[in-house]
Amino acid sequence: MSAQYRPESPGTGYRLLQLPLYLFWIVHGVKHGLTYRLSNYLSMRLFGFHSAAANQVWVHASSVGEVRAVTPLVRALLERGEKVLFTSFTASGYQAIRRDLGDSVSSGVIPPENGWQCARFFFRHSIKLGLVMETELWPELLFQARKRGIKLLLVNARLSRKSLDAGNYIRRLLASTLGYFDLILTRSERDRDALLSLGASAQRIRIIGNLKSLIEAAQQYERLIERDYLLLASSHAGEEQQFLETRPAELEGILLVIAPRHPDRGASIRTQIERLGLRCSVRSKAQPLDPGTEVYLADTLGELKPLLAHASIVVMGGSFDSTGGHNLIEAASLGRAIITGPSDANIAEDIELLGPGSGVLQVADMVDCWRAIAELRAHPARVEALGREARSRLAQQPDIVQQYLAAIEPYLRQQPNSP
């Protein structure tokens, strides 16, 4: 984009829509502030925060998964001597930034999607380049950045099935928002084709790879559970009940650990478990896990990795409903045997990378999942082989962070356009 570039605004219709949606931001801020015990969350969202550093690289990601995926790139930028402003959309994402990076970055959450608050965000922060993760396409926020001459790059770019199936107005809005980006760095040919179908410029798209395919560095995670267990990870409403109801009688002696995608659903999940007559202990309540415990509800934040690291088998949630699956790479990098369901719109590349049938098992439904579990339990060597193959395939991937850094490098050297 030249220095004369002047972005088109999101339009009158979208700006009128911002008014009723403002209530959403307030409700979201109150709810998440209470849920995640962040007393300043709503005020940080509505009234902003200030970072004094000049010429920062602004990195934005939606929630915990995206924050963790882009954190290695953030660390590489810090090692390069860049100052980083790292924001998220959710309270849990903000907490992950604080937990993983502390004061090495300025951190916060994005403002509500309206003109004056988005403008104030960029007035209060000195930003030379914006890196936006995956699908965080906020038209007003990104317009206000471009209006001030801030270069924008979309990293690990993808489009959700919901976006691709949206009506004409939403598609046009997303297409114009993609136009704010100087460069779109995407994961695969499939993602490139999806972006092109929405009107993104082919000249601005480069295929780099998936930041979520980074292999976990060798690390010892604390063992939170001493017993042998199966883990249902990142589950959504309805999946927990399917998982428990379809368990065959011969596998009833195995401890089942459930780590829901949204821990604030813990109370409703516990009610389901008790209705099924199963003995349950709840981690958030510090309830002991005794020999009679059948289900352990891990409804806490920040403990998924240690739970993954020591599970005998991981069943990945979000794949037995319409969600489209969740990131398989984290469990694979820890050498776990993974089973995922039929819903794979978000993880088709993960499955292909890990090796269907050799590094990850994809099943047709929850009944088929339990058949696979029974087979694996009967053949422990097969469990080890699955985990070993998945980790081996990840280890063969190129250095994705360095490839992203090389693509970003020219923009780090440029001065922002004058607004």
Instruction: Give the 3-state secondary structure percentages of the chain, helix then strand then coil, rounded to 5.
Output: 45, 15, 35
Every domain range in the chain assigned CATH 3.40.50.11720: 12-213+399-413
Ramachandran angles phi, psi of 297, nearest 5° = -95, 110
Q: Under 8 Å CB-to-CB from 182, ≥6 apart: which residues?
A: 1, 151, 152, 153, 204, 411
Per-residue pLDDT of the chain (419 residues; tens, 9 = 90+): 444 567 888 888 888 888 888 988 898 888 888 888 888 888 888 888 777 788 899 999 998 889 988 999 999 999 999 999 999 999 889 999 999 999 999 999 999 999 999 999 999 999 999 999 998 999 999 999 999 999 999 999 988 777 777 788 888 888 899 999 999 999 889 899 989 988 888 999 999 988 887 766 556 788 999 999 999 999 999 999 999 999 999 998 899 999 999 888 999 999 999 999 999 999 999 999 988 999 999 999 889 999 999 999 999 999 999 999 998 998 999 999 999 999 998 898 899 999 999 999 999 999 999 999 999 999 999 999 999 999 999 888 778 899 999 999 999 987 655 44
Ramachandran angles phi, psi of 33, nearest 5° = -60, -40
Q: Under 8 Å CB-to-CB from 72, ≥6 apart: which residues?
A: 211, 214, 401
Q: 24: closest CA among 106, 112, 129?
A: 112
Residue 4 pLDDT: 54
Ramachandran category for residue 315: left, alpha or beta (phi over 0 → left; psi -120 to 50 → alpha): beta
- CATH topology assigned to domain 229-395: Rossmann fold (3.40.50)
Distance separating alpha carbons of residues 108 and 59, to the nearest angstrom: 11
Distance separating alpha carbons of residues 226 and 311, to the nearest angstrom: 10
Local structure of 58: helix, strand or coil: strand
Residue 245 pLDDT: 95
Please state the pTM of the whole predicted model. 0.80
Residue 216 pLDDT: 63
Every domain range in the chain assigned CATH 3.40.50.2000: 229-395
Residue 219 pLDDT: 63
**Quick one: CATH architecture of 12-213+399-413?**
3-Layer(aba) Sandwich (3.40)
Q: Name the helix (H) or strand (E) containing 173.
A: helix 168-178
Residue 2 pLDDT: 44
Contact yes or no for 61/88 (Cβ under 8 A): yes
- What's the token pair of residue 80? 């390069």
Burial zone of 52 (CB within 10 Å; 0-12 exposed, 13-18 middle, 19+ buried):
exposed
Distance separating alpha carbons of residues 169 and 120, to the nearest angstrom: 27
